[in-house]
Amino acid sequence: MADHALPEPLEPDLHEHGLASGDFDALAWAIGRGWELFEEVAAEVDLGAPSRKQGWTGRGIVARVGEWPFGRRLEHMLADAHDGDADFYDADALDEQVREHTAALPAEDILAAVGAARATTVDWLASDGPQTWGLVHTSSPLGPLPVLTVMNAMVYQLAIATLDLEPCGVDAPDELMDLGLSALIDTTGALAARKHVTGSFTAVTPRVIVGSGARGGHWRTALLDEDPQAGPGVVADARTVLDVTSGRANVAHLYRTGELHVRDLAGLIRLAPVLDGVPGVPPLGAVGRALSVVDAVGGLFGRLRR
C-alpha cells in the first residue's frame, strides 16, 4: 500500500497501541466512569417497555451487558489471552442466550448483574493485571484485539445500549456518549493497525474531537484541541456517529440532510480493508463509493462485547 500522510497529532510511535498503551489512569477512569453512568441509567429503566432495538425490551438490553454464569465474563477474556487463543466469537448468539435465561428474573437480579460486571471490571483495572495482560490479544466479536482495547470497546457498547433504552424512560448522558465515541475511534484504529493499513479517522462533534491514526501495525488515539482538517472523518454530533456505526441509522439519509458530513472520501475508501475477514461483514471488493464503507461499518461495532 502506498504511503499516506497522517495528521501530525495522529502519527503513532513504534510502541503505541492506542489508548491501551497511553495514560493508563485516564483509560481506567474512562472505562469505570462508563460503567458507572450506565448503571445509573439502568436503575431508572422500565424493564418491561419496548426498547429501540426491534423485538427487545429494556430487560434484554440491560441484561445483555451484565455478568452471568451463562454469558461471557472477564475471566473468559483473560483465559483467551493467557492461552494465546485470540479469535472471533459470536456475540449475537451469546446475547440471545442471556436474553432467554434472564426473561423471567426479577429486576433486582438484572441490576445486580450489571453491578457485578462493573465491579469486576473496576477491580481488575485496579489490580496488577493490566500490566501483564493489558496489551495481550484476546478474542472479541471483531477478532483478536488487546485486552484493554476490548474492555474500552465495551464502553461503546454501553453507550449504544443507553441510546436503545431511551424509549424505556431514560435519557442518554452526553458524557457517556463522548466516552463511547472515544472507545469507537480507538477500536477503529486498532482494526486498521491489525490490517497494517496506513490511515486515520477523526470524529468531529460539538463537544469533543477524537481521532486515531495507524501505521505499521501501531495506532495512536487522541482527543484533539481542534479539527486537524485532514484525513478521512465524520462531522456530526456524537449520537449520530454512534447510531451510524451501530447500524441504527440510515447513512445515506443523514448524508443527504447534512446531519452527517463525510470528508476525504478517497481516504475513507483506503480504510476498507479493516473490515476484511470480520464475520457478518460482506467482502467489499472494489468499493465504488465511500459511503459503502460507512454503511458496511453499520452493525459491525454494535456487536462489541468483552
- By percentage, how much of the chain surpasses pLDDT 70? 89
Task: Calculate mean pLDDT across residues 199-211.
Answer: 95
Domain span at 166 = 8-303
**Higher pLDDT, residue 246 or 127:** 127
Using the predicted structure, report yes or no on whether residue 298 has a pLDDT greater than 80. no
The fraction of the chain above a pLDDT of 90, given in percent, is: 68
Look at residue 279 in the predicted model and tell me its pLDDT.
55
User: Taking all residues of the chain, what is their mean pLDDT, rounded to a whole number?
Assistant: 88
Residue 245 has pLDDT above 90, yes or no: no
Structure-block grid coordinates of residue 216: 505499521
The number of domains in the chain is 1
CATH number at residue 285: 1.20.120.450
Q: Check residue 165 and give its pLDDT.
A: 98
pLDDT (tens digit, 9 = 90+) per residue, 35-67?
A: 999 999 999 999 999 999 999 999 999 999 999
pLDDT in tens, 156-169: 999 999 999 999 99
Cβ atoms of 16 and 218 closer than 8 Å: yes
Predicted local confidence at residue 285, as pLDDT: 39
Say if residues 146 and 17 touch (Cβ distance below 8 Å).
yes
Which grid cell is 171? 435519557
pLDDT at res. 299 = 42
Domain for residue 51, yes or no?
yes
Q: Are 212 and 234 in contact (CB under 8 A)?
A: no
Q: Is the pLDDT of residue 199 over 60?
A: yes
- Tens of pLDDT along 86-125? 998 888 899 999 999 999 999 999 999 999 999 999 999 9
Given a cut of 70, whether residue 292 has pLDDT beyond it is no
Instruction: Supply 202's cell numbers.
Output: 477523526
Does the residue 23 lie in any domain?
Answer: yes
2 is a domain residue:
no
For residue 136, pLDDT over 70 is answered with: yes
Instruction: Say yes or no to pLDDT of 2 above 90.
Output: no
Classify residue 103: in a domain, yes or no. Answer: yes
Residues in the chain: 306
> How far apart are the C-alpha atoms of 207 and 46, rounded to whole Å?
29
The predicted-structure confidence for 137-163, as pLDDT tens digits, reads as follows: 999 988 899 999 999 999 999 999 999
Instruction: For residue range 264-288, list pLDDT tens digits in order.
Output: 877 777 777 776 665 554 443 333 3
- Residue 30 in any domain: the answer is yes
Q: Which of 143, 140, 56, 60 is nearest to 107 (CA)?
A: 60
pLDDT band at 251 (very low <50, low <70, confident <90, very high): confident
Q: Is residue 202 part of a domain?
A: yes
Q: Is residue 246 part of a domain?
A: yes
For residue 1, is it within any domain?
Answer: no
